[in-house]
């Protein structure tokens, strides 16, 4: 599948933003209003900037961005529409919480707004994952782990971001470092399991089924329908990076999980180095998510490519 | 609304005969010609006469080699939207631009509300939708909705352009919900089948399998291997006579 660059940037940026909102919301829910508003306000605003940048960039790959507002209408059937509705709805508790943080005196409703913020962020991330996971035409995406991986990676980058903001304001929370480490480990475990599963997945459909002629076997393309690649081949047959999947997976594991974990350990053991270690962990994890998202597209095979002679199924399952 | 209409009273669609299709691509060019000025207009081309031509087409014809009951066959295989009864290309659309008509089951894209997100093309296992980069919207077979109901055309022309163009009659158009329609009877008689029926989208379009050459009576009788067949002139007759004399 062709990776839409704007969608990769969108899911990386807004993923981190929603992750940040999730941990900020949970902290507010559990600890109540913070003594110092500045770190929480910064986290809330930065999350909003990331989410908004992501949502804006997601419209760049549209043929008609000026019509994007129409995408809020079909939430009954479409996960993409649900994502849009959830994303916009999540701005409401974020805005309310912003007021609660900023206005003097203890306004009521902080807990409720925080809970709504966490739920909104989780639902939006879930919808993003389901856009891919609901497509039966792409076996690598049509997988139960896909939406949870989207949530786990958002939670991991969001926790790193919140820890970095805290350190920048001179406050440290060992629990947050632990939370970030746990989210990274959970993400690594899920991603590793996902790769193992798709590698051995048998081909769900064959060219024989795609052609459908009863009793036909040994089908192979003789003449192509067109001399140059068309939209279907460029979009569904895109494979740049697939040959290097092994190397890119190792890069993902290193950048997204290993390096940030090492940095977290350093930050926990040598607090003086936190201000260097945590931003580095964040940058590394961000780059790791970008590689992971590219691979998520490049390794995905589309059923329609059967007609062009491609085979489905995992790398190890395809081998005779 | 991108929710599906459920059972439609009519199921307009195509029946494509893989026995008689000769892979001439007349349906492809005829479709392009009509639809670049019709409902889906324009069907943009990039670099059409250059080294790397590409463009939006609503119909593609593949050619495959295969074995059917032990016999090698070449099968030409037109591929376009199958106007499925329960397709995901409609339900995934976030704007309602991709829809299935309740009255006749035709699956259409509204070019005025499509945002060009391409998700419908991802949801189609048949690769039937092609994005128009210039127009910024998705293009697909309209079943020539602007021909089949078009009262300004002579009645015999109210058929999809691909059907009108086919020189071998390999494409037929009709109502597949009506068991007595010509297309439904042909499907029943010839054992019409669905593409990728395991997917469960219930395509309306049906394909007819290549006929068995043994029962179709087109098995060529093998020529005698070691005789000159049908000598054409005196010299060949002389060679044939010598050949026969020497062989006996």
Residue bearing the bigger pLDDT, B220 or B197: B197
Min Cα distance B34 → chain A (Å) is 19
**The pair of three-digit structure tokens given for residue A258, joined into one six-digit string:** 């290993």
Closest residue of chain A to B133, computed from CA coordinates: A63
Shortest CA distance from A302: residue in chain B: B125
Nearest residue of B to residue A1, measured between CA atoms: B122
Question: Do the beta carbons of residue B196 and residue B126 sit within 8 Å?
Answer: yes
Say whether pLDDT at A146 is over 60. yes
Q: Are residues B124 and B98 in the same domain?
A: yes
* CA closest to A66 among chain B residues: B115
- Return the percentage of chain A with pLDDT > 70, whole number: 98
* Residues 6+ away with beta carbon under 8 Å from A108: none
Residues of chain A with Cβ-Cβ distance to B194 below 8 Å are 212
Query: Could you report the per-residue pLDDT of B81-122, keeping only the tens digit for each?
Result: 999 999 999 999 999 999 999 999 999 999 999 999 999 999
| E-strand stretches of chain A | 216-223
B interface test, pick of A74, A134, A135 with most B CB neighbours within 10 Å: A74
pLDDT for A313 equals: 82
Closest residue to A232, CB basis, from B114, B127, B137: B127
Closest residue in A to B209 (Cα) is: A213
User: Looking at the partner chain, which of B3, B63, B116 has a beta carbon nearest the beta carbon of A62?
Assistant: B116
Sign of the Cα torsion B190, B196, B199, B204 reads negative
Q: Quick check: is B195 in a domain?
A: yes
Substitution target from A61, A66, A134, A210 for chain B, most B beta carbons within 10 A: A210
CB contact under 8 A, B63 and A78: no
Which of A65, A74, A229 has its CB closest to that of B93?
Answer: A74
Residue A320's pLDDT is 38
For residues B177 and B247, membership in a common domain is answered with no
> Is the pLDDT at A62 greater than 70, yes or no?
yes
Per-residue pLDDT tens for A66-101?
999 999 999 999 999 999 999 999 999 999 999 998
The reply to whether B119 and B238 lie within a common domain is no
Residues A100-112 have pLDDT tens digits of: 988 877 677 889 9
Q: Which residues of chain B does A203 touch, with a Cβ-Cβ cutoff of 8 Å?
A: none
User: B8: which DSSP letter?
Assistant: -
Domain co-membership, B121 together with B138: yes
CB contact under 8 A, A77 and B3: yes
Based on the fold, state whether residues B80 and B173 are members of the same structural domain.
yes
In a domain, B6, yes or no: no
Q: Are A200 and A139 in contact (CB under 8 A)?
A: no
- B2 belongs to a structural domain: no
Cα distance from A135 to chain B (closest Cα, Å)? 6
Both B248 and B149 in a single domain? no
Contact A156, A285 (CB under 8 A): yes
Residue of B nearest to A237 (CA): B127
pLDDT at site B160:
97
Q: Is there a contact between B64 and A221 if contact means CB atoms under 8 Å apart?
A: yes
Predicted local confidence at residue B216, as pLDDT: 66
Question: In whole numbers, what is the pLDDT of chain B averaged over residues?
Answer: 92
Q: For A169-181, give the DSSP string.
A: TT---HHHHHHHH
Q: In what order do the strands lie in the sheet with B12-17?
A: B171-175, B12-17, B206-208
Q: Is residue B203 part of a domain?
A: yes
Q: Which two tokens stand for residue A33?
A: 């209003």
Within this chain, do residues B68 and B175 fall inside the same structural domain, yes or no? yes
Torsion sign over Cα A156, A160, A162, A163: positive
B244 Cα to chain A: minimum distance (Å):
42
CA atoms B141, B75, B30, B205: torsion sign: negative
A206-210, B59-63, B210-214: least confident range: B210-214
| Strand, coil or helix: B168 | coil
The CATH number for B91's domain is 3.30.70.20
Does residue B155 lie in a domain region? yes
Please give the pLDDT value at position A7: 87
B176, B233: one domain: no
Distance CA A191, CA A201 (A): 15
Q: Do B154 and B176 share a domain, yes or no?
A: yes
Higher-confidence position of B181 and A319? B181
Pairwise CB contact (< 8 Å): B121 & A232: yes
Letter string b/e over residues B213-235, b meaning 16 or more CB atoms within 10 A of that residue's CB: eeeeeeeeeeeeeeeeeeeeeee
State the pLDDT at residue A252: 95
Among B76, B97, B115, B116, the strongest candidate for a mutation testing the A interface, having the largest count of A CBs within 10 A, is B115
Distance in Å, alpha carbon of B40 to nearest chain A alpha carbon? 15
- Higher-confidence residue: B239 or A169? A169
Q: How far is B56 from chain A (nearest CA, A)?
A: 7
Coil/strand/helix, residue A96: helix
Compute φ and ψ for A96, nearest 5 degrees: -65, -45
- B100 within domain boundaries: yes
Instruction: Provide ipTM, 2 decimals.
Output: 0.93
Is the same domain home to B203 and B243? no
List Cβ neighbours of A306 (8 Å cut-off, separation of 6 or more).
Answer: A205, A206, A207, A210, A312
List the structure tokens of A20. 């940040």
| Nearest CB neighbour to A78, from listed B62, B93, B198 | B93
Q: Note whether B118 contacts A68, CB cutoff 8 Å.
A: no
- Checking if the pLDDT of A264 tops 60, the result is yes
Q: What is the mean pLDDT of chain A?
A: 93
Residue B240 and residue B210 in one domain = no
The answer to the question of residue B130 being in a domain is: yes
- B7 domain residue, yes or no: no
List B13's β-bridge partners, or say none. Answer: B174
Give, in order, the Cα–Cα distances in Å from B15 to each of A174, B59, B107, B203: 68, 14, 16, 11
To the nearest whole Å, the CA of A228 is away from the closest chain B CA by 6
d(CA A25, CA A285): 22
Domain of B245 in residue numbering reads as 224-248
Does the structure show a pLDDT above 70 at B179? yes
Q: What is the pLDDT of residue A240?
A: 81
The shortest C-alpha distance from A131 to chain B (Å) reads 8
Q: How far is the C-alpha of A212 from the C-alpha of B205, rounded, in Å?
A: 13
CB A184 within 8 Å of CB A156:
yes
Largest CA distance in chain A: 78
Q: How many domains does chain B have?
A: 2
Residue of chain A nearest B200, judged by CA positions: A136
* Shared-domain flag, residues B190 and B171: yes
d(CA B80, CA B76): 13
Asked whether the beta carbons of residue A223 and residue B23 sit closer than 8 angstroms, the reply is yes
Domains and CATH numbers, chain A: 5-318 (1.20.1630.10)
Instruction: List residues bridging with B12 in a β-sheet.
Output: B175
């Amino acid at each position: 599948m062709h990776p839409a660059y704007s969608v990769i940037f969108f899911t990386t940026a807004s993923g981190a933003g929603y992750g940040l909102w999730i941990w900020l919301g949970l902290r507010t829910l559990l600890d109540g209003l913070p003594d110092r508003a500045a770190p929480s306000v910064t986290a809330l605003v930065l999350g909003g900037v990331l989410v908004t940048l992501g949502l804006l960039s997601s419209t760049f790959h549209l043929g008609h961005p000026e019509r994007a507002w129409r995408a809020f209408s079909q939430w009954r059937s479409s996960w993409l529409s649900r994502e849009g509705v959830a994303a916009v709805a999540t701005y409401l508790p974020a805005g309310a919480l912003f007021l609660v943080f900023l206005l003097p005196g203890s306004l009521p409703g902080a807990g409720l707004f925080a809970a709504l913020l966490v739920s909104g962020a989780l639902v939006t991330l879930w919808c993003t994952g389901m856009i891919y996971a609901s497509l039966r035409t792409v076996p690598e995406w049509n997988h139960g782990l896909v939406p949870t991986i989207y949530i786990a990676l958002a939670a991991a980058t969001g926790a790193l971001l919140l820890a970095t903001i805290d350190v920048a304001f001179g406050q440290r929370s060992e629990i947050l470092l632990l939370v970030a480490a746990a989210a990274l480990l959970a993400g690594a475990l899920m991603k590793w399991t996902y790769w193992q599963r798709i590698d051995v997945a048998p081909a769900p459909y064959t060219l024989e089924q795609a052609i459908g002629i009863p009793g036909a076997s040994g089908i192979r393309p003789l003449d192509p329908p067109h001399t140059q690649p068309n939209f279907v081949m460029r979009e569904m047959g895109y494979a740049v990076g697939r040959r290097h999947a092994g190397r890119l997976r190792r890069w993902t594991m290193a950048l997204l999980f290993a390096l940030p974990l090492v940095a977290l350990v350093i930050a926990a053991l040598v607090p003086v180095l936190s201000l260097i270690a945590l931003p580095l962990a964040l940058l590394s994890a961000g780059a790791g998510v970008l590689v992971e998202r590219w691979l998520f597209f490049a390794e995905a095979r589309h059923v329609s490519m059967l007609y062009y002679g491609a085979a489905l199924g995992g790398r190890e399952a395809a081998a005779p | 609304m991108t929710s599906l209409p459920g059972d439609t009273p009519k199921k307009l669609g195509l029946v494509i005969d893989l026995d008689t299709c000769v892979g001439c691509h007349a349906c492809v060019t005829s479709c392009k010609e009509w639809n670049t000025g019709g409902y889906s207009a324009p069907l943009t081309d990039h670099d059409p006469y250059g080294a790397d031509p590409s463009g939006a087409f609503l119909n593609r014809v593949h050619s495959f080699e295969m074995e059917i009951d032990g016999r090698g066959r070449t099968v030409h295989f037109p591929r376009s939207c199958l106007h499925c009864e329960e397709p995901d290309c409609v339900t995934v659309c976030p704007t309602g631009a991709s829809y299935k008509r309740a009255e006749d089951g035709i699956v259409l894209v509204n070019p005025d509300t499509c945002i060009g997100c391409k998700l419908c093309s991802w949801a189609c296992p048949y690769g039937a939708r092609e994005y128009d980069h210039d127009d910024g919207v998705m293009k697909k077979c309209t079943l020539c909705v602007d021909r089949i109901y078009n009262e300004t055309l002579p009645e015999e022309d109210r058929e999809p352009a691909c059907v009108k163009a086919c020189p071998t009659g390999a494409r037929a158009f009709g109502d597949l919900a009506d068991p007595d329609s010509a297309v439904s009877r042909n499907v029943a008689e010839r054992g019409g089948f669905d593409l990728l029926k395991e997917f469960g989208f219930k395509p309306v379009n049906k394909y007819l399998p290549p006929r068995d050459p043994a029962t179709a009576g087109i098995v060529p009788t093998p020529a005698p291997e070691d005789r000159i067949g049908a000598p054409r002139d005196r010299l060949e007759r002389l060679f044939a006579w010598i050949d026969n004399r020497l062989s006996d």
